[in-house]
Amino acid sequence: MPSASPFPQHIIARKRDGHALTDAEIQAFVRGATDASWEKYQLSAMLMAILLKGMTPAETAALTDAMMRSGRMADLSAVPGIKVDKHSTGGVGDKVSIPLAPMVAACGVPVPMISGRGLGHSGGTLDKLESIPGFRTGLSLAEFESQVARIGCALIGQTRDLAPADRTLYALRDVTATVECIPLICASILSKKLAEGIDALVLDVKFGGGAFMKSLDQARELAEALVSVGRAGGKQVRALLTAMHEPLGRNVGNALEVEESIACLHGRGPSDLMEVTFALGAHMLVLGGVIKDLASANLKLRHAVDSGAALAKFRDIVASQGGDVAAIDNPTLLPQSNRTVSIPSPTTGYISRVDAMGIALAALDLGAGRARVEDAIDPAAGISRVVKVGEPISHGAPLCLLHVNGEDRLKAARDRILDSIAISDQPPARVPLIAGVIL
């Protein structure tokens, strides 16, 4: 007969005392989160013990594997080619997934992408996509598998039966101050990604004021852990370290970011957004085996944009998932706010700082995000045409435009914008957007 599962308190005590847990103990913890055989206070105690005592690479790999296997896993084995996804650790104005997935798919690499919703200052790909009228992100795993096989790409949310342990543990981490724990971050990200049937993964690990990892050293530590654990799971993984001091692109807010993503697919996106998208996409093409070097991969992506193939692929995705394709050609069909307000510059000079977190909080003031999972968002709300660091500005010229439904939301957002943007007499030194690659 199989041995009885260890008591939760015994496993918690072993981690509390700094011991490395066995695979069986980690599996018992994950099973307890999945079937509710562990009380929430026991799960919370375990999360805090992991935060305080850490996990070895082997423990983190075992935790990731157990969470991945806590539910169903997508089967994309019938889809030809190397399946590659991308994951970002979250930032402000980070709409990269929306143009990136169809670009890469148009180049012949299947992209099965499962994304999340925005919470706090960080926006969510699902919320952005759902601002397209009719767009469905809640496909079943069977629909997901079918769409990837048929058109080479699907952009969906986490299904109820995919890595269900993560759903429970993530909610507890959010309320127990254990979000920043690297082993838990690794297991949360990778359990979902590895369960979606991919062969390879490119990570965008962000650092700076608008990222969860504030310093480059913290981001590098997380990136190295993610790459190591992903490879332990048998996948090809690499990570880019990208700066998130100012918003990525010029628009922050769901429909506004979709509009900017469409501009990107036309080749007219802001230079920083295009740079990060092409950089991530080039690594995806190399891992996908369709091209050997990054320079050639970059050219292939640009051709997919210039030829219209990437935009056509996005139309296919939107149509397949029930969205209004007309909104791609006419972005005025996306949700529109009833008021747009310009914020004038108080002086003349050069933009020396655009604080990403401040801009994100201003967007939240306008209704573009949610403080709690159950909160509703306004898809039309947000900020557009945000100035970029290094640009010259004249007195009275717009720092940005606020898009809002409701006069009561304006003052707080306006004040935050003015506090978040600094102007100097001299142009600031340029900070590289991509700080390194973890191979």
**Global pTM exceeds 0.85:** yes
Q: Tell me which of 117, 173, 235, 403 is the catalytic residue.
A: 173
Q: Is 192 a catalytic residue?
A: yes
In the three-class reduction of DSSP (H, G, I as helix; E, B as strand; rest coil), residue 187 is classed as: helix
**What per-residue confidence (pLDDT) applies to 118?**
63
Q: How far apart are CA 91 and CA 211, in angstroms?
A: 5
Two tokens at 265?
């697919």
Percent helix / strand / coil, the chain, rounded to 5? 45, 15, 40
- Ordered by where they begin, the domains of the chain are 8-54 (no CATH), 84-329 (3.40.1030.10), 335-424 (3.90.1170.30)
Catalytic site residue from 70, 97, 115, 188: 188
Which one from 192, 235, 245, 403 is the annotated catalytic residue?
192
Q: Which amino acid is it at 248?
A: L
Q: Within 18-153, where are the H helices?
A: 23-35, 40-53, 57-68, 97-106, 125-129, 141-151
Distance between CA 285 and CA 106 in Å, rounded?
Answer: 11
DSSP 244-295: -SS-SSS-BSHHHHHHHHHHHHTT-S-HHHHHHHHHHHHHHHHHTTS-SSHH
**Per-block mean pLDDT, blocks of 10 residues, the chain (439 long):** 72 97 97 96 98 96 96 93 95 96 98 80 85 95 94 91 91 87 94 92 96 94 95 94 97 97 97 98 98 98 98 98 97 96 98 97 90 79 98 98 91 96 96 96
Q: Which helix (H) or strand (E) holds 323?
A: none
Q: DSSP class of residue 202?
A: E
CB 226 within 8 A of CB 205: yes
273/263 Cα distance (integer angstroms): 11
Burial letters for 133-157: b for 16+ Cβ neighbours within 10 Å, e otherwise?
bebebebebebbbebbeebbbbbbb
Please tell me the predicted confidence (pLDDT) of residue 314: 98
Phi, psi of 324 (to 5 degrees): -80, 105
pLDDT at 373: 62
Catalytic option among 65, 85, 94, 166: 166
What is the pLDDT at residue 2?
45
What are the DSSP calls for 84-110, one per residue?
Answer: EEEEE---SS--THHHHHHHHHHTT--
Quick check: is 173 catalytic?
yes
Q: Is 188 a catalytic residue?
A: yes
Looking at residue 1, its pLDDT comes to: 37
Q: Among residues 15, 87, 95, 117, which one is catalytic?
A: 87
